[in-house]
């Protein structure tokens, strides 16, 4: 049997090699960029592990032996789930390798804005010394930290926010937050009430541009948006316009509709936007953990064992 890693940006594939050792499985690393590259590398693959390469319907139709496609990470936007389901190929992700890292990064972005660290730093560098902030700065205990979504990462984020004294709330049409410490909100209430709104929902046709010009207009002018989930959840041009107009106060973004962020994107001109380059997932621990867990899931599929995280049942 053969597992093909279609593409990987890691320093090595030692964790994957260790995971398949003794299973009688050949492991092959390809660095595919296009669908054609993937087809050439995987026609006889029994399993695939993919990072960014496009796994289109055409790619899937070309597979002759494949039983499983495992995505390095949480999102599976680059895999045609319907085509895989139709062909009987399981698609799996690794949703639990970087929960702490993403939650920490999310709250870091939120706190930096809530305490106006970027603006105060810029003010000092410009030669201005003041012991008061330029804009209102409420106590955390007076602010509502809300999440769109109430999955693993959202819960970890709200746990951290609660430790800082925030009121916590969440919107999730599928999971009811516990009423004793997380207030359940409707979607309209989420945008109207959040002082900090953090996005933690998957990207789908229904959630694309969940944050748009109309929704931004519903928010408090002091509100902060954080996105460490999927770039397509926000209409980033509308967000840039809202930041420049003062419709909302600030944004902390780790993911973007197009990556890398375009050189002339208007977000780059927003001093009230704190931008990071899709690094929320990263730590020295999370990388090998991701590699190992992805390979272990592929091995389970080829050995006929129950899968932990199939997303296209």
Question: Mean pLDDT, 10 residues at a time, over the chain (313 residues)?
Answer: 97 97 96 97 97 98 97 94 97 96 98 97 97 96 98 97 98 89 96 98 94 98 97 98 98 96 97 97 97 98 97 94
Asked whether residue 93 is assigned to any structural domain, the reply reads yes
Are 74 and 112 contained in the same domain? no
Residues 78 and 220 in one domain: no
Is 112 found in the same domain as 83?
no
Token pair, residue 168, equals 């916590």
**pLDDT at res. 171:** 97
224 and 141 co-located in one domain:
yes
310 is a domain residue: no
Q: What is the pLDDT of residue 274?
A: 98
* 312 falls within a domain: no
Residues annotated as part of the active site? 230, 259, 278
Asked whether residue 308 is assigned to any structural domain, the reply reads no
Domain count, the chain: 2
Indicate the pTM of the whole model: 0.91
pLDDT for 179: 79
In a domain, 161, yes or no: yes
Distance CA 183, CA 51 (A): 36
142 and 266 share one domain = yes
- Is residue 10 located within the same domain as residue 114? no
Residues 76 and 106 in one domain: no
What domain range is 42 assigned to? Answer: 2-97+284-302
Q: Does 169 lie in the same domain as 234?
A: yes
Q: Is residue 307 part of a domain?
A: no
Rounded Cα–Cα distance for residues 285 and 289 (Å)? 6
> In CATH, what number is assigned to the domain containing residue 253?
3.40.50.720
Pair (179, 218) in one structural domain: yes
Query: Is 218 found in the same domain as 117?
Result: yes
Q: Is residue 313, in this structure, part of any structural domain at all? A: no
d(CA 253, CA 234): 10
In this prediction, residue 176 carries a pLDDT of 87
Let me know whether 256 and 217 are in one domain. yes
Whether residue 64 sits in one domain with residue 212: no
């Amino acid at each position: 049997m053969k597992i093909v890693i279609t593409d990987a940006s890691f320093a090595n594939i030692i964790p994957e090699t260790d995971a398949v050792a003794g299973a009688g499985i050949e492991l092959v690393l390809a660095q595919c960029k296009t669908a054609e590259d993937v087809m050439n590398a995987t026609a006889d693959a029994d399993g695939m592990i993919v990072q960014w390469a496009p796994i289109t319907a055409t790619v899937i139709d070309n597979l002759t032996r494949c039983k499983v496609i495992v995505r390095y990470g949480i999102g599976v936007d680059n895999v045609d789930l319907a085509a895989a389901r139709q062909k009987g190929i399981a698609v799996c992700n690794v949703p639990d390798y970087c929960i702490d890292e993403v939650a920490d990064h999310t709250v870091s972005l939120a706190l930096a804005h809530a305490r106006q660290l970027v603006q105060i730093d810029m003010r000092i560098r410009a030669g201005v010394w003041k012991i008061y902030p330029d804009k209102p700065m409420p106590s955390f205990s007076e602010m509502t930290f809300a999440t769109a979504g109430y999955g693993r990462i959202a819960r970890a984020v709200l746990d951290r926010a609660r430790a800082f004294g925030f009121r916590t709330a969440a919107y999730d049409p599928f999971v009811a937050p516990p009423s004793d410490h997380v207030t359940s909100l409707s979607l309209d209430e989420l945008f109207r009430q959040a002082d900090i709104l953090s996005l933690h929902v998957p990207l789908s046709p229904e959630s694309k541009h969940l944050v748009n010009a109309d929704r931004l207009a519903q928010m408090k002018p002091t509100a902060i948006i954080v996105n460490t989930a999927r770039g397509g959840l926000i209409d980033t041009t509308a967000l840039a316009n809202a930041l420049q107009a003062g419709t909302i106060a600030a944004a902390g973004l780790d993911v973007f509709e197009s990556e890398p962020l375009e050189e002339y994107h208007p977000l780059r001109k927003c001093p009230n936007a704190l931008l990071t380059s899709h690094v929320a997932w990263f730590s020295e621990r999370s990388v090998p953990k991701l590699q190992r867990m992805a390979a272990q899931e592929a091995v389970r599929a080829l050995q006929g064992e129950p899968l932990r995280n199939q997303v296209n049942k």
